[in-house]
Structure 1
Amino acid sequence: MEDEILKIENLQVNYGSIKAVKGISISVQKGSIVTIIGSNGAGKSTTLGAISGLTRPSGGKIIFRDRDITRLGAAKTSQLGISLVPEGRRIFPNLTVRENMMMGAYNRKNKEEVQENFKTVFTLFPRLKERLKQPGGTLSGGEQQMLAIGRSLMANPDLIMMDEPSLGLAPIVVEEVFKAIQSLNSKGVTILLVEQNAAKALEISRYAYVLETGCVTLQGDAKKLLESEEVRKVYLGI
């Protein structure tokens, strides 16, 4: 694919005798939003874990910017420009908002660039600037999600993967998070999105994959999948 930033070929992940991911192939074009939808247990989070180096694949290849990163591990993978916003946010509740954000920049050496990243995050999420000295654990659920996204941006990544960013959030906050995702993408950040809110995810994505029990069962233009009778019935409840 033209300008392909990430390519997954026949990825397999096993947990003991359980085959969580059964040979999936996924492609992400630079500058796009690609979404993965599917029911619980489909293998979506496992796929992101394998890409980020947190989970060891049992087979297949993960190619990022023409480099094989299949067995690099999480630390080296993040240094190459891949950042994960994990499900459940997983911020550091006892650290301040500023300290949480600086954790995302721990590999960065250029202080001026780090300050620019702070400005980018505050443009996206002005509330984080107001709460800079507050412990992360005192923020609302929506603010913690903003902080998790902000922390990942501090690494200045080429690819951000988000695992269920809208999970458990009030509808008005969900709107805010999806607007931020689109704004980020408009600045050139490539986004791979795993999301239970299938309608919202498909609306903002260019391409989408449907995972079921560790296999890709559907893929295509996100807007066309949004209109697909099968997708509407199973994932949108229409």
Structure 2
Amino acid sequence: MANEILSVDELQVSYGVIKAVKGITLSVEEGSIVTIIGSNGAGKSTTLGAVSGLIRPSGGKVSFRGNNINRLGAARTAKLGISLVPEGRRIFSNLTVRENLLMGAYNRKDKEEIEGNFEAVFSLFPVLKERLKQSGGTLSGGEQQMLAIGRSLMANPDLIMMDEPSLGLAPIVVEEVFQAIQTLNSRGVTILLVEQNAAKALEISKYAYVLETGKITLQGSAKELLESEEVRKVYLGI
């Protein structure tokens, strides 16, 4: 793939004797939105965990901008420019919105740049500016998801990986979240998206992979997958 920012080659991840990811290969073109769809337990979250350094692969290679990042760990991987918005938001409910956002900038030193990132977050999610002094736990589900995305932005990433960003949200909030993803992408942020709402994910993506029981069973342009009879039947309910 031209200008690839992320390359995953024969990635394997095991939990004891259980092989969760069984040698998958995928790539993400810089400046694009790429989505991974698949049923529960397919290995989607495990794949993102391995890329972000939270999980150590048992085989294969993960490369970011051509450099092997397999053994860097989460903190060093984040410093390189990869952010993860985890499934379930994982915000700090007892910290204020401002404190939650600052947690995303923990490995950055330039205060002026950090203030600039605050403004970028507020331009995307104005409601967070109104809630700065509130504790994260008092926010609605949609606002918490916005906070989780905002926190990832505070690291000034080149690549954001999002794990089920629309899960459990009301339809109107889902629209807001997907609009924010497209806005981020238009600002030059590359996005790797894991999403149970396959139709919405494919509509905004350039390329897509279908993951089943730890293996990629289908891949192609998002348009091709949207038109695929198999995908329509299994994932889109058409």
Query: What TM-score range do you get, normalising by the shorter chain?
Result: over 0.9
Q: Where does residue 71 of structure 1 map in the other structure? A: 71
Distance in structure 1 (CA, Å) of the matches to 2:57 and 2:205? 26
- The count of residues paired between Structure 1 and Structure 2 equals 238
Query: Amino acid of the residue matched to residue 135 of structure 2?
Result: P
Query: Amino acid of the residue matched to residue 20 of structure 1?
Result: A
Q: Where does residue 90 of structure 2 map in the other structure? A: 90
Distance in structure 2 (CA, Å) of the matches to 1:198 and 1:153? 24
Distance in structure 2 (CA, Å) of the matches to 1:44 and 1:122? 30
Runs of 5+ in structure 2 lacking a partner? none
Map 1:1-238 to 2 at 5 A: 1-238=1-238
Distance in structure 2 (CA, Å) of the matches to 1:237 and 1:32? 26
Distance in structure 2 (CA, Å) of the matches to 1:53 and 1:112? 28
After superposition, the C-alpha distances for 1:85-109 in whole angstroms (9 at most, x for unaligned) are 0000000000000000000011111
Per the TM alignment, residue 196 of structure 1 is displaced from its structure 2 partner at its CA by: 0.2
Runs of 5+ in structure 1 lacking a partner? none
TM-score for the superposition, normalised by structure 1: 0.99
Of 110-119 and 152-161, deviating more is 110-119
Distance in structure 2 (CA, Å) of the matches to 1:103 and 1:190? 21
Distance in structure 2 (CA, Å) of the matches to 1:212 and 1:183? 30
* Root mean square deviation, CA, Å: 0.5
After superposition, the C-alpha distances for 1:48-85 in whole angstroms (9 at most, x for unaligned) are 00000001100000000111001111111011000000
TM-score for the superposition, normalised by structure 2: 0.99
Per the TM alignment, residue 166 of structure 1 is displaced from its structure 2 partner at its CA by: 0.2
Distance in structure 2 (CA, Å) of the matches to 1:200 and 1:224? 14
Per the TM alignment, residue 211 of structure 1 is displaced from its structure 2 partner at its CA by: 0.2
Runs of 4 or more above 3 Å deviation: none
| Percent identity of equivalent pairs | 82
SS at match of 1:22: strand
After superposition, the C-alpha distances for 1:200-220 in whole angstroms (9 at most, x for unaligned) are 000000000000000000000
Query: Amino acid of the residue matched to residue 205 of structure 1?
Result: S
